[in-house]
Amino acid sequence: MPLNTQAIGKSFPPVTYAVGREKVREYAQAVGETHPVYLDVDAAREAGYADVVAPPMFAAVYSAPAIGPALFDEEVAIDFARMVHGGQEFRWGPLVVAGDEVTTTATLKDISERGPMAFYVFETVSTNSQDETVCVGTWTNIVRGE
Amino acid sequence: MPFTEGQELPELTTTPDRYLTVRYAGASGDFNPIHIDEQFAQQVGLPGRILHGLWTMAQVARAQTEAAGGPQALRRLQVQFRGMGVPEQEITVRSTVRELRDGNALVDTRAEQGGKAIIRNAEAELSLD
């Protein structure tokens, strides 16, 4: 069956994520971070931040509510049973701290085929309330052929 | 922190404990049962529960930020996920500075478990400021 590539370019509604202090700490602990700027408000303030700093990979958390619906979109029509997360890139701007509100928009950038595999590439662009781009994510999902 | 081409960054080793995937599911919001339900994972043909790829990527990121002295240095990280990480087995992240360019260090990095790459062809960009 030829790959349906009509959804390339489709953008999904922006989603705003409010970054909470305890969520940042919970995440930092789950990934083994020990740097005090992630865990201790006083240490973060002493280092010049308004509140605890989200580890860079917390981008996976604030982007998730935007990328989720894109993956499940009916027009994109990904076969989930055969999907694996093949690759990921994040490019970071200014650090995110607790108290920030981060708005993420997901776009389907490409659908391509290589042998029996289909590649779905999504981009997420996340901005803070000062309209600075805090992270651009490129999500490559691979769907194995039948 | 000054870097030099060819420099090896400090190796990061970590052993995800038996319940790590449950804590990461809660922390990240990714409750895909292949990560938290042993029976479900086996039913879909996996050896058992597997690690979240983005958790493993976070270990690669942590190796970079710890070497560079903080989160502000990590400008970019790109990885390919290969194979499957599993709980209760040590993971090693190794990183080598490939090139210094435009005030950034480009670092080749990979994560291995049990002698197999679970993240490979990964590249990090660290600010030298």
- Tokens 């370019």 appear where? A9
Domain spanning B12-17+52-127: which CATH class is it, in words? Answer: alpha beta
**Beta bridge partner(s), residue B81:** B119
Of residues B1 and B95, the one with the higher pLDDT is B95
Write the CATH number of the domain with boundaries A5-19+58-143. Answer: 3.10.129.10
The whole-angstrom distance between residue B83's C-alpha and the CA centroid of its chain comes to: 13
pLDDT single digits (tens) B45-97? 889 999 999 999 999 999 999 999 999 999 999 999 988 999 999 999 999 99
pLDDT single digits (tens) A26-77? 999 999 999 999 999 999 999 999 999 999 999 999 999 999 999 999 999 9
Helix (H, G, I), strand (E, B) or coil at A68: helix
Query: Where do the domains of chain B lie?
Result: 12-17+52-127
Q: Is the dihedral of CA A81, A87, A93, A99 positive or negative?
A: positive
A to B CB pairs, distance under 8 Å: 90
**Using the 8-state DSSP alphabet, how is residue B114 labeled?**
T
Q: Is B14 on the interface with A (CB under 8 A)?
A: yes
pLDDT single digits (tens) A72-130? 999 999 988 888 899 999 999 999 999 999 999 999 999 999 999 999 999 999 999 99
User: Is pLDDT of A144 > 90?
Assistant: no
Amino acid at A104: T
User: Is pLDDT of A2 > 80?
Assistant: no
Inter-chain touch A37–B70, beta carbons under 8 Å: yes
Average pLDDT value over all residues in chain A? 95
**Assembly ipTM:** 0.96
Q: Are B97 and B107 within 8 A, CB to CB? A: yes
Amino acid at A43: A
Check residue B83 and give its pLDDT. Answer: 85
Chain B residues near residue A33 by CB distance under 8 angstroms = 62
- The rounded distance, in Å, linking the Cα atoms of B120 and B73 is 21
User: Is pLDDT of B1 > 80?
Assistant: no
User: Is pLDDT of A146 > 80?
Assistant: no
Q: Are A63 and A104 within 8 A, CB to CB? A: yes
pLDDT single digits (tens) B84-96? 999 999 999 999 9
User: In this structure, how many other beta carbons lie within 10 angstroms of the beta carbon of residue A63?
Assistant: 25
Around B95, how many Cα atoms within 13 Å sit in the side-chain half-sphere?
Answer: 30
- The rounded distance, in Å, linking the Cα atoms of B82 and B113 is 11
Q: Is A132 on the interface with B (CB under 8 A)?
A: no
User: In this structure, how many other beta carbons lie within 10 angstroms of the beta carbon of residue A19?
Assistant: 21
Chain B residues near residue A86 by CB distance under 8 angstroms = 80-81
